[in-house]
Chains A and B, each alone.
Chain A
Amino acid sequence: MSHKNVDTLKSEAKVLWADLQGKELKPKDRLAIPCQDMPSQEPSVRIRNMAEVAVGYSEEQVRVEASRCLQCKSAPCVKGCPVSIDIPRFIKAAEEGRFEDSLAVIRESSLLPSICGRVCPQESQCQEHCTVGKSLKDVNRAVSIGRIERFVADYERAKGTKNIPQIAPSTGKKVAIIGSGPAGITAAADIRKAGHDVTVFEAFHKPGGVLVYGIPEFRLPKSIVEEEIHTLEEMGVDIEPNFLVGRTRKLKDLIDKDGFDAVFIGSGAGLPKFMHIEGENLVGVLSANEYLTRSNLMKAYDPEHAATPTYKSRRVAVLGGGNVAMDAARTAIRLGAEKVYIVYRRTEVEMPARVEEVGHAKEEGVEFLLLRNPKRIIGDEKGRVRAIEVLSYELGEPDESGRRRPVPIEGSESILDVDTVIVSIGNDSNPLLKQTTEGLETNKWGNIIADEDGKTSMDRVYAGGDIVLGAATVILAMGQGRKAAAAINRMLAEEV
């Protein structure tokens, strides 16, 4: 990806829009309109700050991009959206400059458009099915649904016209939400709207879950998350930080003693996986969760104010190829590392990270070592990381994940000098609730077993998001939060 200047992108779009405006466009004309790149900070500048990298479309850009949509009757994009947003309708409104109407369409199905527009993996959801992308034989040239979503959400925020959703008259029922990440926030809003009292319990000192501890400021500004949480509070949702359900209070006690009529568990996947290789407990080996939490939630990138230290690194290997790996690698660059590698055992095609973030990482100087996997981590005499030994791989037949299985090449070991290793190969589910709650059934990975509606094995207890799915995405967690909320609302309505 070659970086284009913000002003260039904007002025090109201005010319294009002036030309398109008012014209009757045939599908062929629409297919010929160039994709609008996301304007972003210059790579050389942004690696020295924590501010958001992507700065968002201009009005002309969003209208040009929206003009690329063919308004297909079959709307395959909608099928790719976990919450089934009426995508053609919101894009049509954006094309016509009716940005508020456009946002209203999104809000029918999604509560957090300014967040989802930034962090959803659109190319493997809505945009994967886009007819434009298919016709142009490149998913990256599909209509940029996520960027348009982001624009209309930001447009409203900038105007400060946000409305607080209407709340039904009080039912006198109480619902507890465990965890304030995407699943919890979504469920809380939908349950509160039905007139029930809602309390959200958060273990950290700040609400937002992965949106605040995991995703860096440069990809999702914390002020946006704070605003969403603030809206919840304005709706009358009570948020209790520093409250670890299972320890501060047992889950069963919430129902039996504290009078909650239902519980939704959205506690996320919070137990980092390690490689189980030699040297993984050396000083300088960190989980991505630890590295990112120090930087994002504890603000370790600002040592002048923050008391939490971060690990000082010169040469960093990030193990893994997901969004979290990209976030860790790009954070390391910003924290002053001279050299940052992504070490991933498949190729870029199989990488689960968003294409845009891979592109951003490359622009920022992150080096990708593909088809490589660490065999052991080597320490110095002080027990600090000195290097990793990596083995090269080639791709074999597809495995159960559908991706081609990486097969090690015998004798291909090589040594990579690094002083920090950030392990970003995913998370297992946190065992705490299972350990402390009798009768809560989990599967062999420790994920809570829940049916279509999010109902668990326990009476009145629902669950959704990563604690059910394993590590997934913000929008999937939201989708589950909504489903469970609807089921809880139905259950409570029957009891009135």
Chain B
Amino acid sequence: MNKILEKRQLSEEVFRMKIEAPLIARERKPGQFVIIQKDTNYGERIPLTIADADPDEGSITIIFQTVGKTTHEMALFEVGDSFENVLGPLGQPTHIEKVGTVVCVGGGIGVAPLHPIAQAMKAAGNHVVIIMGARNRELIIMEDEMKAIADELIVCTDDGSYGRKALVTEPLKEYCESANPAMAVAIGPPIMMKFCAETTRPYGVKTIVSLNTIMVDGTGMCGGCRVTVGGETKFVCVDGPEFDGHLVDFDNMMLRLGAFKEREQEDHHQCHLDMEIAKKKQGALR
């Protein structure tokens, strides 16, 4: 049982929770993730990146967006409630070393997994440039935390409601042209990662991406998370989650992410209804 110690709603669809997980808090490294299952008997296993951890308190922080049935139900959990199962830390930690200038690009909720990596890159003595973007102001998360790390920070929104009106690839391109970065780390929706990799490719800037594919066990057993990287089949859970963005077959990955779309769409619709009803009930109780 992993108790929820703190909960904050970051935007309409994004929630941050600090949960009790002392063993994971002690072992985790940047780039790693956990698998959370709300209930043992019928719950789904959801891979989520560890956004932060406090080994002294024995807690980890997760940030998730409500996309399917389970994440909607998770969003209704309150401080004091518990997730029955949390497994981790999973995946290969990010390779951190001093290389010079590192451009960290985060899109939407991808800023959460980017946070510990940017933190570690900074701690290793790199000049850290952070570009973060979202569709609109509402969906920008963790700006203060990122500001605290970054040597330079650029915030963009697609609609111009906050920061610069641009896609993250615009400032990324400018940095590639002017600052000669040693590497880039891009985490966000697959399409964003794909275009970030395409942006850096002509400049030969090594670009790391962190993939979040469909996964069941997270330990290499099911192979559901596989992606094609440089023509080879790799498992995101044990070989990744980070790969060289210039080698990832994003088109195939995006297709595979749609494997259970029908069920997700049914659930998404149903969940929004359920969530509204549940919210009303909770409201009435207070």
Interface residues, chain A, with chain B CB atoms under 8 Å away: 203-206, 213, 241-244, 247-249, 270-272, 274, 276, 280-284, 286-287, 289-290, 293-294, 298-299, 302-303, 305-309, 311-312, 382-384, 430-432
Pairs A–B under 8 Å by Cβ, sample size 6: A249-B23, A249-B27, A270-B221, A286-B223, A287-B222, A432-B219
The distance in angstroms between the C-alpha atoms of A288 and B249, with both chains bound, is 24
Interface residues of B in 242-286 (CB under 8 A from A): 249, 252, 255-256, 258-260, 262-264
Looking across the interface, which residue of chain A has its beta carbon closest to that of B23? A248
Looking across the interface, which residue of chain A has its beta carbon closest to that of B227? A281
Contact A203 B42, CB 8 Å, known A241-B85, A283-B258, A293-B222: no
**B114 interface residue, CB < 8 Å from A?**
no
Contact A247 B89, CB 8 Å, known A270-B221, A382-B255: yes
**B194 interface residue, CB < 8 Å from A?**
no
The interface residues of chain A lying within 8 Å CB-to-CB of B58 are none
The interface residues of chain A lying within 8 Å CB-to-CB of B69 are 307
B120, chain A: closest CB distance, angstroms: 18
B266, chain A: closest CB distance, angstroms: 10
A207, chain B: closest CB distance, angstroms: 11
Residue-wise, chain B 212-256 has the 8 Å CB interface mask toward A (1 for contact) of 000011011111101110000101001000000000010010011
Contact A283 B255 (CB under 8 A): yes
Closest 9 CB pairs of A and B: A383-B255, A290-B222, A307-B44, A270-B221, A309-B263, A287-B223, A205-B85, A272-B223, A290-B224
Looking across the interface, which residue of chain A has its beta carbon closest to that of B35? A242
Contact A242 B85, CB 8 Å, known A308-B44, A383-B252: yes
**B49 interface residue, CB < 8 Å from A?**
no
Contact A305 B42, CB 8 Å, known A203-B87, A244-B219, A283-B255: yes
**B86 interface residue, CB < 8 Å from A?**
yes
Interface residues of B in 26-43 (CB under 8 A from A): 27, 37-38, 40-43
The distance in angstroms between the C-alpha atoms of A294 and B222, with both chains bound, is 9
Contact A432 B220 (CB under 8 A): yes
**B90 interface residue, CB < 8 Å from A?**
yes
The interface residues of chain B lying within 8 Å CB-to-CB of A280 are 233
**B143 interface residue, CB < 8 Å from A?**
no
Instruction: Give the interface size class of chain B.
Output: 35 or more
The interface residues of chain B lying within 8 Å CB-to-CB of A283 are 255-256, 258-259
Contact A289 B219 (CB under 8 A): no
**B88 interface residue, CB < 8 Å from A?**
yes
The interface residues of chain B lying within 8 Å CB-to-CB of A302 are 42
Looking across the interface, which residue of chain A has its beta carbon closest to that of B90? A247
Contact B220 A270 (CB under 8 A): yes
The distance in angstroms between the C-alpha atoms of A272 and B237, with both chains bound, is 13
The interface residues of chain B lying within 8 Å CB-to-CB of A243 are 23, 87
B228, chain A: closest CB distance, angstroms: 6
The interface residues of chain A lying within 8 Å CB-to-CB of B84 are 205
**B45 interface residue, CB < 8 Å from A?**
yes
Contact A290 B216 (CB under 8 A): yes
The distance in angstroms between the C-alpha atoms of A430 and B217, with both chains bound, is 13
Contact A286 B262 (CB under 8 A): no
The interface residues of chain A lying within 8 Å CB-to-CB of B227 are 281
Interface residues of B in 187-216 (CB under 8 A from A): 216
B167, chain A: closest CB distance, angstroms: 25
Contact A248 B27, CB 8 Å, known A276-B233, A299-B42, A307-B44: yes
Contact of A307 among B23, B42, B85, B221 (CB under 8 A): B42
Q: Apart from A293-B216, A383-B252, what 13 extra A-B contacts exist at CB < 8 Å?
A: A213-B217, A271-B220, A272-B222, A274-B233, A281-B256, A286-B224, A293-B221, A307-B43, A307-B69, A308-B216, A311-B259, A312-B262, A430-B220
Contact of A248 among B85, B88, B235 (CB under 8 A): B88
Contact B40 A289 (CB under 8 A): no
Contact A293 B217 (CB under 8 A): yes
Contact A271 B221 (CB under 8 A): yes
**B131 interface residue, CB < 8 Å from A?**
no
The interface residues of chain A lying within 8 Å CB-to-CB of B256 are 281, 283, 383
Contact of A306 among B38, B42, B85, B235 (CB under 8 A): B42
B29, chain A: closest CB distance, angstroms: 10
Contact B88 A247 (CB under 8 A): yes
Contact B259 A274 (CB under 8 A): no
The distance in angstroms between the C-alpha atoms of A185 and B90, with both chains bound, is 25
B46, chain A: closest CB distance, angstroms: 9
Contact A274 B223, CB 8 Å, known A283-B255, A299-B41: yes
